[in-house]
Amino acid sequence: MKRRIPVEENDIVSSKQRAQIFAFALKRTSNAADAEELSQEILLQCLIAARRGGINNSESYFWSVAHNTYKRYLSRRKSAPQFLSEEAFTNIPNGNAPLAEDLSAREEYDAVKRALSSLAELYRKTLVYFYYDELPVTEIGKKLNLSESMVKFYLRAGRQKLKEVYSMNEQKLKSFYPADFCVYLAAIDFTHINVWEIFRRKLPCQLALECTNARSVQELSLATGVPAAYIEDEIEILRNADLMHFSFGKAITNFSVLKSDAVREMKGIFTEIYARYLPRAIAAYETYLPKLKQCDVFKCDAQEKQWKWFFASNVSDFYTEPVKCEDYPQTACGARAFIFAAETENFPFTRGQTPIFLDNYEVRPCDVSVFGEFRRQEQLRPAEKSAALCEIYRGNANEEHAALYAELIGQGYAFKKDGKLFSNVPASTAKSRAAFQEMNEELNAVLQPLCRKARKTAEELIDTSLPRQLKQYRRGYTEIWLDFFAGVWFLESLHESGFLPAERGETLPLACSIYEK
Q: What is the pLDDT of residue 367?
A: 96
**Bridge partners of residue 258, in order along the sequence:** 342
Report if residue 440 sits inside a domain. Answer: yes
Domain carrying residue 404: 260-516
Q: How far apart are CA 459 and CA 145, in angstroms?
A: 48
Q: How far apart are CA 505 and CA 488, in angstroms?
A: 19
Report if residue 358 sits inside a domain. Answer: yes
**Is there a single domain that holds both residue 201 and residue 58?**
no
Q: First and final CA of the chain: distance in angstroms?
A: 89
User: Is residue 5 packed enough to be buried (19+ CB in 10 Å), middle (13-18) or exposed (0-12)?
Assistant: middle
Give the burial string for 252-275 (b: 16+ CB within 10 Å, else e): bbbbbbbbeebbeebbebbeebbe
Q: What is the pLDDT of residue 111?
A: 64
Q: How far apart are CA 358 and CA 225, in angstroms?
A: 51
Q: What is the pLDDT of residue 54?
A: 62
Report if residue 109 sits inside a domain. Answer: no
Q: What is the pLDDT of residue 483?
A: 95
Report if residue 483 sits inside a domain. Answer: yes
**Is there a single domain that holds both residue 228 and residue 318?**
no
**Is there a single domain that holds both residue 218 and residue 265?**
no
**Is there a single domain that holds both residue 205 and residue 354?**
no
CB 350 within 8 A of CB 196: no
CB 181 within 8 A of CB 205: yes
**Is there a single domain that holds both residue 250 and residue 265?**
no
Q: What is the pLDDT of residue 98?
A: 45
Backbone angles phi, psi at 145, to 5 degrees: 60, 45
Backbone angles phi, psi at 72, to 5 degrees: -65, -35
**Is there a single domain that holds both residue 233 and residue 338?**
no
**Is there a single domain that holds both residue 202 and residue 286?**
no
**Is there a single domain that holds both residue 249 and residue 299?**
no
Beta strands in 400-441 (DSSP E): 414-417, 420-423, 427-428
Pick from 233, 254, 275: which residue ends a domain?
Answer: 254
Q: How many CB atoms lie within 10 A of CB 353?
A: 15
User: Is residue 277 packed enough to be buried (19+ CB in 10 Å), middle (13-18) or exposed (0-12)?
Assistant: buried
Q: How far apart are CA 330 and CA 232, in angstroms?
A: 25
Cα torsion 232, 235, 241, 242: sign: negative
**Is there a single domain that holds both residue 211 and residue 351?**
no
Question: Between the CA of residue 478 and those of 31, 257, 323, what are the distances in Å?
Answer: 61, 12, 10
Q: What is the pLDDT of residue 257?
A: 96
CATH number at residue 189: 1.10.10.10
CB 288 within 8 A of CB 421: no
The tally of domains found in the chain comes to 3
Residue 245, classed as helix, strand or coil, is: strand
The DSSP letter of residue 131 is I
Pick from 79, 103, 136: which residue ends a domain?
Answer: 79
**Is there a single domain that holds both residue 248 and residue 268?**
no
For every one of its 517 residues, what pLDDT tens digit does the chain have, with 9 covering 90 and above? 344 434 344 455 677 777 778 778 777 775 666 777 788 778 777 777 776 666 666 676 777 778 778 777 776 654 433 334 444 443 333 334 443 444 445 555 566 666 777 677 888 888 888 877 788 889 998 989 888 888 888 888 888 777 766 655 444 444 446 789 999 999 988 888 899 999 998 899 999 999 999 999 888 887 887 877 788 889 999 999 999 998 888 999 999 999 999 999 999 999 999 999 999 999 999 999 999 999 999 999 999 999 999 999 999 999 988 889 999 999 888 899 999 999 999 999 999 999 999 999 999 999 999 999 999 999 999 999 999 999 999 999 998 999 999 999 999 999 999 999 999 999 999 999 999 999 999 999 999 999 998 999 999 999 988 998 999 999 999 999 999 999 999 999 999 999 999 999 999 999 999 999 9
The number of residues making up the chain comes to: 517
User: Is residue 334 packed enough to be buried (19+ CB in 10 Å), middle (13-18) or exposed (0-12)?
Assistant: exposed
Report if residue 117 sits inside a domain. Answer: no
Angle between helices 99-117 and 58-77 (to 10 degrees): 40
CB 2 within 8 A of CB 40: yes
Report if residue 172 sits inside a domain. Answer: no
Q: What is the pLDDT of residue 66?
A: 80
CA 288, distance to chain mean position in Å, is 42
Q: What is the pLDDT of residue 387?
A: 97
Question: Between the CA of residue 110 and those of 65, 100, 106, 394, 456, what are the distances in Å?
Answer: 20, 15, 6, 71, 52
**Is there a single domain that holds both residue 328 and residue 444?**
yes
**Is there a single domain that holds both residue 244 and residue 276?**
no
Report if residue 11 sits inside a domain. Answer: yes
Q: How many CB atoms lie within 10 A of CB 429?
A: 16
Report if residue 384 sits inside a domain. Answer: yes
Residue 266, classed as helix, strand or coil, is: helix
Pick from 34, 55, 79: which residue ends a domain?
Answer: 79
Angle between helices 402-410 and 383-394 (to 10 degrees): 90
